Structure 1
Amino acid sequence: MSAAPSPDASRERILAAATTLFAEYGYDGTSTRRIAAEAQLNMATVAYHVGAKADLYREVMRRAHEAEAALLRDALGEFAALAGAGDPAAAATGLVDRYLDFCLEQPHIPALWMRRWLSDAAEIAELEAAYARPLIDAVRDTVAGALPGARPEDVELTVWTVLWSTHGFCRSGIREQVPRFRAHLRALVLRELGL
């Protein structure tokens, strides 16, 4: 007889299943029953470990945000160092490369955000203000602060353009086009930032 999974193992199975399903079908298209089936646990176990579906969704999005925030902290540090050393073009393309690589390595994160931006989970409205907005602001402020004459509102539009383009590309699954897309994204950012 096999031992029952530990509470932590069960919780992680539930979160892994929920992440996959929310990324693929969205919050509105995923039921708790489906999450339980994917995790190979019963509904009572899911509820016990994570609460309601909205609680589970918030946890999935929190984890996605933490991963993205950690990447951006590092990438913005590298950006600041290169820009401070007098190479803003390398700083900008390095930042774009890091974000693209992150999204390619963790495709569930762009998928989760794209689902939200297509009016998924509309009743859970606080996530943009809590997660997306602070990261957008950090990138905008760091980049605009390093480029004399850069208008923050223009830099913000460039950040959003990179975000939407990268998320859409990563969802497309056209992996053989990564080098072309990377070159296009780099050129777009350099042009938009006047570099």
Structure 2
Amino acid sequence: MTSSDAGGRERILDAAGRLFAALGYDGTSTRMIAEAAGLNVATVAYHVGGKRDLYLAVMERAHLAERAALEGALAEADLDAEGLLTLADRYIDFCVDNPEIPALWMHRWLSDASDVAHLEEQYVRPLTDMVVAAARQVMPDDVDIEYVVWTVVWCTHGFFCGGVLDGEGRRHGRNDPRELARFRAHVRRLVATAIGLPARAD
């Protein structure tokens, strides 16, 4: 693959990722992706393939980014209870830097791309297993660490995609520094309570 081909593929995947995150797989067409990338449908098909191929490539790219971030965070964090709070922070940081990734998975939770059924087993399960296995080394047996990990995922994806409402019904989310700080402190308290550790909001 030439550098031009690689650049064209990345441009297409960037556009596809934005559209799949915003509209879901079912709400996005190949023509929409081509237009967003400034290309024609034939060029998109040449570089990546059809809509399903585009979706699979986008989800693979999202998974690789998330796996690298989690592996890096696990390597840096001390394997103790406090390190689990740091790990939750790093996951929130990752979603701040890659907001399309929680949006992609939220669409799947709502039965988007239901005909592409293997992605959870291929991508989600190995990452949750990796984090759970690391956490179990330092947590007592009576802590359901799998549910602690999923609670962080559920809350983070929900906040990043839906935010919270203020007193006047306006929605605030990841782009609001005050609400992001409140959310981060809340997740730390949730995790700390679940694992029996006093939480710090910083």
RMSD of equivalent CA atoms:
1.4
Task: List per-residue Cα deviations over 1:2-29 (Å, max 9, x = no partner).
Answer: xxx9222221111110000000000000
**SS of the residue 1:6 aligns to:** helix
Which one-letter code corresponds to 2:158 in the other structure?
G
Structure 2 unaligned segments of length 5 or more: list them: 164-171, 198-202
- Report the 3-state secondary structure (helix = DSSP H, G, I; strand = E; otherwise coil) of the residue aligned with 1:164: helix
Structure 1: runs of 5 or more not aligned: none
Q: Does 1:131 align with 2:114?
A: no
Q: What letter corresponds to residue 62 of structure 1 in structure 2?
A: E
Residue identity matched to 2:70: L
Deviations 1:35-72 (A, max 9, x none): 01111111100111111111110110001000100111
User: 1:13 maps to what in 2?
Assistant: 11
C-alpha separation between the residues in 1 aligned to 2:142 and 2:12? 45
Q: Which TM-score applies when normalising by structure 1? A: 0.89
Cα distance in 1 for partners of 2:84, 2:72 equals 14
Q: CA deviation at 1:150?
A: 4.3
**Match for 1:32 among 30, 39, 42?**
30
- 1:68-118 Cα deviation digits (max 9, x unpaired): 001111112233x342xxxx2x21110111000110111011111111111
Give the equivalent residue in structure 1 for 2:57.
Answer: 59
1:146 is paired with a residue of what secondary structure? Answer: coil
Letter in 2 for 1:23: A
Letter in 2 for 1:136: T
**C-alpha distance in 1, partners of 2:117/2:183?**
32
Where in structure 2 are the equivalents of 1:37-56 lying within 5 Å? Answer: 37-56=35-54
Structure 1 stretches of 4+ with a deviation exceeding 6 A read none
Identity of aligned residues (%): 55
Question: Aligned residue for 1:188?
Answer: 190
AA at the equivalent of 2:181: P
Query: TM-score normalised to the size of structure 2?
Result: 0.86
The Cα of 1:133 is off from its aligned counterpart by: 0.5
The CA deviation at 1:178 is: 1.0
1:150/1:69 CA distance change after superposition, 3 Å: farther
- Other-structure match for 2:107: 115
Match of 1:144 in 2: 136
Structure with higher RCO (Cα < 8 A, 6+ apart): 1
Cα distance in structure 2, aligned partners of 1:150 and 1:109: 32
- How many residues are paired up? 183
